[in-house]
């Protein structure tokens, strides 16, 4: 019975779209002003697609997140669509509700009214958004606001949603402004191509990318209208150059996803991939300007603040009142890239902040570290050996140190060290780093002591602050950049 009713709604929606064509508000939209052909013609050799709107910073697949992407320059973004028990199309990534809302169960088992009574809940973005209680949007409202303004890469995350999704796109005459998004093995690509849609074909894991799979897509798709999407890898590394070359050999546009950092985009540009899918629009395309202090009192992550994996709750900040955040992932070091304050361009600058250990690290040689002088924003941990730069540290045994690290070398080279009082649990400490054209000065202000190094290897660039230990908890507040 439910299936028959859904089919009836689809037929009625299609008929209604035809009857109301050209009516404007309340009916079907006029022919789209911005088409896939327009975007392909103008996008150039370097372009971005919004992932879940701005999913690193705004609650994913909400009107607020989509609007934030468009406001920051997105000309294309991907849209996930699900269907409720009463046949209403909504924008939601998962078939279940727990990960991104305050509700539980399967989306297709609740009505639109029940869904609307809840709200989007992504705790890692900060308590501000839990207070804001933004709602899951109707797919139709997204088409009304953004259809014909930007390219929408649309996917039904639940099979029964495809038919009404296509009917809704047709109702608003958006076929030329929509790419249909699906898994690389989808049997529907040929039909969709015959209907004139652009295709967004994605792989989810590197082992799926084989010569056979790429060859199949090459035979089905066109470089003028379609794209192959590849997983960029993980926080531990990029997609191998061999696989990048394999997919490039298809002659299709290839877009890695989801990119969180400016360094990620530069990595793939250097390998000939001009397009990329990002969940940090505004930051990655430099539409957000560096700030001079933290914004933790707002209670929300901001563009450029990047944990090891911004989509992984394990590495999320813990938000405390009064502008305090904590880093406390167990089993790994835990750093925050301060892209919101970076890149530093002044030849001389000072960084000040306060820190405490609500739980001390078990390793006396580990503690807190401020990494600076990095040329880009790739993720930093002590010992990774990925970047050139410096660290200013306080070890759990009280040692104040300055060190230099270089790409390709896991071990740091100590530049200066001084013993100070060991930190105590929950004791707030104050620090200042001063960089001049010729010197580095690292000072502990609560128990006055400094170390100085004369080294001019690196200046300016990106900052990272965190816990260089695999346990314990580091609290931070009152971070500011002075120059």
Question: 392 with 405: CB under 8 angstroms?
Answer: no
Structural domain range at position 202:
36-285
429-459 burial by CB neighbour count: b if 16+ within 10 A, else e?
bebbbbbeeeebbbbbeeeeebbebebeebb
Residues 245 and 367 in one domain: no
Residues 377 and 430 in one domain: yes
Residues 231 and 306 in one domain: no
Residues 196 and 310 in one domain: no
Residues 78 and 117 in one domain: yes
Closest by Cα among 383, 379, 392, 388 to 406: 388
Give the CA distances from residue 340 to residues 314, 318, 319, 479, in Å, rounded to whole numbers and listed in that order: 21, 18, 18, 12
Can you give the pLDDT at residue 5?
29
Closest by Cα among 175, 110, 171, 117 to 140: 171
Question: 263 with 246: CB under 8 angstroms?
Answer: no
Count: domains in the chain? 2
Judge whether 14 lies within some domain.
no
Judge whether 327 lies within some domain.
yes
Residues 84 and 218 in one domain: yes
Judge whether 382 lies within some domain.
yes
Judge whether 2 lies within some domain.
no
Residues 342 and 248 in one domain: no
Judge whether 322 lies within some domain.
yes
Judge whether 436 lies within some domain.
yes
Residues 169 and 208 in one domain: yes
Can you give the pLDDT at residue 17?
35
Return the structure tokens found at 356.
Answer: 């405490």
Asked, as a colleague might, if the bond just before 462 is cis with ω within 30 of 0, I would say no
CA distance 356 to 129: 26
Closest by Cα among 353, 366, 315, 385 to 465: 353
Residues 72 and 40 in one domain: yes
Residues near 241 by Cβ (< 8 Å), separated by ≥ 6? Answer: 271
- CATH number, position 397: 2.60.120.560
Residues 240 and 315 in one domain: no
Last residue of a domain, one of 226, 257, 285: 285
- Tell me: the pLDDT tens digits for 256-287? 999 999 999 999 999 999 999 999 999 999 99
Q: Which residues of the chain have pLDDT under 70?
A: 1-32, 234-236
- Tell me: the pLDDT tens digits for 297-326? 999 999 999 999 999 999 999 999 999 999
Last residue of a domain, one of 285, 311, 339: 285
Last residue of a domain, one of 219, 251, 285: 285
Judge whether 173 lies within some domain.
yes
In percent, the amount of the chain with pLDDT more than 70 equals: 93
Closest by Cα among 315, 360, 351, 311 to 475: 360
Residues 161 and 57 in one domain: yes
Closest by Cα among 243, 181, 231 to 204: 231
Judge whether 188 lies within some domain.
yes
- Tell me: the pLDDT tens digits for 168-227? 999 999 999 999 999 999 999 999 999 999 999 999 999 999 999 999 999 999 999 999
- CATH number, position 131: 3.20.20.190
Residues 191 and 340 in one domain: no
């Amino acid at each position: 019975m439910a299936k028959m009713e859904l089919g009836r709604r689809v037929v009625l929606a299609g008929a209604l779209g035809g009857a109301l064509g050209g009516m404007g508000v309340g009916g079907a939209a006029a022919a789209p002003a911005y088409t896939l052909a327009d975007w392909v013609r103008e996008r150039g050799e370097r372009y971005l697609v919004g992932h879940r709107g701005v999913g690193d910073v705004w609650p994913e697949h909400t009107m607020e997140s989509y609007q934030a992407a468009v406001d920051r320059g997105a000309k294309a973004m991907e849209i996930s669509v699900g269907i409720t028990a009463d046949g209403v199309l909504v924008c939601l990534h998962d078939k279940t509700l727990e990960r991104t809302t305050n509700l539980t169960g399967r989306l297709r088992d609740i009505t639109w009214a029940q869904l609307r009574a809840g709200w989007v809940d992504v705790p890692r973005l900060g308590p501000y958004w839990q207070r804001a209680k933004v709602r899951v949007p109707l797919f139709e409202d997204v088409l009304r606001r953004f259809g014909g303004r930007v390219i929408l890469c649309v996917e039904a995350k639940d099979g029964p949603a495809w038919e009404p999704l296509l009917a809704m796109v047709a109702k608003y005459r958006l076929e030329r402004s929509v790419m249909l998004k699906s898994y690389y093995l989808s049997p529907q690509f040929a039909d969709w191509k015959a209907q004139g849609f652009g295709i967004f074909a994605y792989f989810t894991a590197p082992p799926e990318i084989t010569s056979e799979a790429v060859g199949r897509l090459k035979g089905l798709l066109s470089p003028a209208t379609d794209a192959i999407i590849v997983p960029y890898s993980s926080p531990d590394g990029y997609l191998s150059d061999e696989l990048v070359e394999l997919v490039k050999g298809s002659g299709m546009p290839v877009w890695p996803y989801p990119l969180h950092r400016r360094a990620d985009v530069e990595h793939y540009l250097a390998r000939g991939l001009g397009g990329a899918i990002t969940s940090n629009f505004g930051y990655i395309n430099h539409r957000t300007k560096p700030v001079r202090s933290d914004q933790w009192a707002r209670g929300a992550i901001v563009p450029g603040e990047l944990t090891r994996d911004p989509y992984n709750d394990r590495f999320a900040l813990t938000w405390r009142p009064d502008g305090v955040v904590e880093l406390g992932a167990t089993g790994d070091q835990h750093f925050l890239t301060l892209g919101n304050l970076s890149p530093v361009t002044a030849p001389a600058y000072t960084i000040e902040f306060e820190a405490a250990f609500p739980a001390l690290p078990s390793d006396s040689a580990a503690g807190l570290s401020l990494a600076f002088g990095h040329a880009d924003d790739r993720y930093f941990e002590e010992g990774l050996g990925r970047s050139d730069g410096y660290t200013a540290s306080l070890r759990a045994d009280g040692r104040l140190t300055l060190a230099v690290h270089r790409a390709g070398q896991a071990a740091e080279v100590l530049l200066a060290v001084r013993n100070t009082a060991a930190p105590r649990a929950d004791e707030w400490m104050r620090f200042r780093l001063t960089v001049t054209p010729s010197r580095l000065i690292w000072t502990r202000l609560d128990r006055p002591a400094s170390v100085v190094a004369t080294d001019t290897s690196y200046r300016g660039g990106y900052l990272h602050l965190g816990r260089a230990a695999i346990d314990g908890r580091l609290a931070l507040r009152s971070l500011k950049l002075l120059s």
